[in-house]
Structure 1
Amino acid sequence: MTSTTHAAGRTSRAAWLLAAFLAVLAATAFDASAHAVAEGDKGYIQEVTGIQLLPFVYLGAKHMVTGYDHILFLFGVIFFLYRLKDIGIYVSLFALGHSTTMLLGVYFGIGMNAFVIDAIIGLSVVYKALDNLGAFQSWFGVQPNTKTATLVFGFFHGFGLSTKILEYNISPEGLVPNLLAFNVGVEVGQLLALAAILIAMGFWRRSPSFVRHAYTANVAIMTAGFVLIGYQLTGLFVS
C-alpha cells in the first residue's frame, strides 16, 4: 500500500470520526440540558464552602469538555480557519465573552431563564453553521462581522453557565477565588477540546473529502443547533 493510500485512509477516518462526533452531539441534545451538571458535581457546588481552587478548576474543565453546545459553536467558528493566529483571535474573543458574563453573572446574581438562554445558545450554533455555508451573503447580500458575533454569542454562553451556577446557590464564602478557578478550568477544557478538534481537522483538511463534505458537516452542525433550540423551547412551554 502506497503512502498516498495510507494518507487517504487516515483522512477518511478523521472525516468519519468528525461525522460520528457531530452525530453524538446532535443525539445528546435530545436528552441533556446544555449546561447540566452531574449530580455529584451539583451536590459538591451546593455544599462546599471556603476556597477550593483545584476542585473548581476540575469542574470548569469538565464542564467545557462535556459541554456539547460550546464545542459545536467552537467547531463552527474554526471550521474554515487555517492560520493559528486567526484561530487564537476567535477563540480568545469567545473566551472573553464567556468568562465576562459567567463571572459577573454569578457575582452580581444576574440570571436568565435557563430554557431561553440555552435556546439562544442553540441559535448561536445555527448562526455559525449558516455563516459557514454563506447563507447571509446569498440571502441578504450582507456578511455579518464574524468577530463581533463570536464575542456576542460568547456573552450568551457565559450567561448560560452563570444561570446554572446560580440555581445551585453556590456559597458566598470564597466565591471570587472559586469562580476564577472555575474559569481557569473552563479555559483549560476549551484548549483540550480545541486541540482534539484541530488534530482531526488537520488530517481531514488534507483530503479531497474535506471539500466534498464541508457542506454536509455544517448542515449537521446546524441541525444539532435546531435540535437544541427545539428541546429548550419545548421545556420552556411545558415547564
Structure 2
Amino acid sequence: MLDGEVMEFLINGDEPAIQLSESTPGVPVYLSIGVEHLVFGFDHVLFVIMLLYFVNKPLDILKVVTSFTVAHSLTLALSAFDLVTLASAPVEAIIAASIVLLAYENLNDRPSLIKQFPALIAFAFGLLHGLGFAGALAEIGLPENSQLMALFLFNVGIELGQLAIIALVLLCLTLMRHRVWFHQVSYQLPLYVTGSIASYWFIERSWQILS
C-alpha cells in the first residue's frame, strides 16, 4: 500500500480476485474459512453428532464438547507451527474409523469404556481431528506476519461452526424424542447411515494409503 502498510490476502476458487482498498479484509477471512471447513467437513460433523448420542444431560454435553474442543485446538496449534507432524492420509483414515466406532457403540447395548467416559474419548479422538484441521489449514497457509491471529480466527471459526451443528442436532433430538417412533427411525437410522458412510471413507482412504 502507499502508506507502507503490508496486507495479505487469500485467493481461492470462490474469490479469485481482490479489490485493493482501505477496507479490503486480510486475516479476518480465516474466521469464515474455519466455519466453512467445519460445516462442510462432513467427517467432523458426523463425529460430533455421534458424540452427542452418548450424552443427554447439559453438564455431560458441556464436558464432551469442551474435551473435543481443547484437544483439537491443541493439536491444530502444534501442527500449524510444525511442532507435531503426521501424514494426512493415515490421520484421515483413522478419523473415519473413529466415526465407525462411535456409530457401532451407539447401536450396541452393552456397557463400554466409551459410554462410561465419553469426555475422555472425545479428547482422545479430538487430538486426531485437530491434525485433520491442520492438514486443511496447511493447504491454505498462514500469512507470514499474522500467523497467530490467523490461526486464532480459524480455530474460532471452527468452534462457531461446531456450536451451530450442536445446537441444530440437539434441537432435532429434543423435538423427536417426544415421538413414539423416535427410537425406531430417528435414533437408529442416522447411526446406520453414518456408520455406512464412514466405513466407505475408511476403505477409500486406506486404499489410497496402500496404493
The aligned counterpart of 1:10 is none
Are positions 1:224 and 2:194 aligned together? no
Counting only pairs closer than 5 Å after superposition, residues 4-83 of structure 1 correspond to structure 2 as 39-40=12-13, 52-83=26-57
Are positions 1:160 and 2:160 aligned together? no
More helix by share: 1
Q: Is the 8 A contact 1:120 1:229 kept in 2?
A: yes
Superposition misfits of 4+ residues, deviation over 6 angstroms: 41-44
The aligned counterpart of 1:104 is 78
Q: 1:111 to 1:40 in 2, by over 3 A?
A: farther
Q: Is the 8 A contact 1:114 1:164 kept in 2?
A: no
Q: Which of 81, 88, 104 is the equivalent residue of 1:114?
A: 88
The aligned counterpart of 1:85 is 59
Q: State the alpha-carbon separation in 2 of the partners of residues 43 and 72 from structure 1.
A: 30
Q: State the alpha-carbon separation in 2 of the partners of residues 218 and 178 from structure 1.
A: 36
Q: Is the 8 A contact 1:110 1:163 kept in 2?
A: no
Q: State the alpha-carbon separation in 1 of the partners of residues 13 and 85 from structure 2.
A: 23
Q: Percent identity?
A: 24
Aligned letter for 1:68?
A: F
Q: State the alpha-carbon separation in 1 of the partners of residues 16 and 89 from structure 2.
A: 22
Are positions 1:215 and 2:210 aligned together? no
Q: Which of 113, 119, 143 is the equivalent residue of 1:143?
A: 113
Structure 1 residue 234, shift from structure 2 partner: 2.1
Q: State the alpha-carbon separation in 1 of the partners of residues 123 and 14 from structure 2.
A: 28
Q: State the alpha-carbon separation in 1 of the partners of residues 113 and 83 from structure 2.
A: 36
Unaligned runs of 5+ in 2: 1-10, 18-24
The aligned counterpart of 2:210 is 237
Q: What CA RMSD, in Å, does the superposition of the two structures yield over aligned residues? A: 2.4
Question: How far does the alpha carbon of each residue in 1:196-227 deviate from its partner, in whole angstroms, 9 at most, with x for none?
Answer: 11222222111122211323331222112111
TM-score (norm 2): 0.81
Structure 1 residue 186, shift from structure 2 partner: 0.7
- Count of aligned pairs: 191
Aligned letter for 1:198?
A: L
Unaligned runs of 5+ in 1: 1-37, 45-50
Q: Is the 8 A contact 2:38 2:158 kept in 1?
A: yes
Structure 1 residue 146, shift from structure 2 partner: 2.1
Are positions 1:194 and 2:166 aligned together? yes
Deviates more, 1:111-120 or 1:207-216: 207-216
**Structure 2 residue matching 1:40: 3-state secondary structure:** coil
TM-score (norm 1): 0.72
Q: 1:80 to 1:165 in 2, by over 3 A?
A: closer
Aligned letter for 1:187?
A: E
Aligned letter for 1:196?
A: L
Structure 1 residue 110, shift from structure 2 partner: 3.2
Q: 1:155 to 1:186 in 2, by over 3 A?
A: same
Structure 1 residue 109, shift from structure 2 partner: 5.3
Q: 1:171 to 1:187 in 2, by over 3 A?
A: same
Structure 1 residue 39, shift from structure 2 partner: 4.8
The structure, 1 or 2, with the larger RCO (C-alpha pairs under 8 Å, 6+ apart) is 1
Q: 1:231 to 1:193 in 2, by over 3 A?
A: same
Q: Is the 8 A contact 1:107 1:176 kept in 2?
A: no
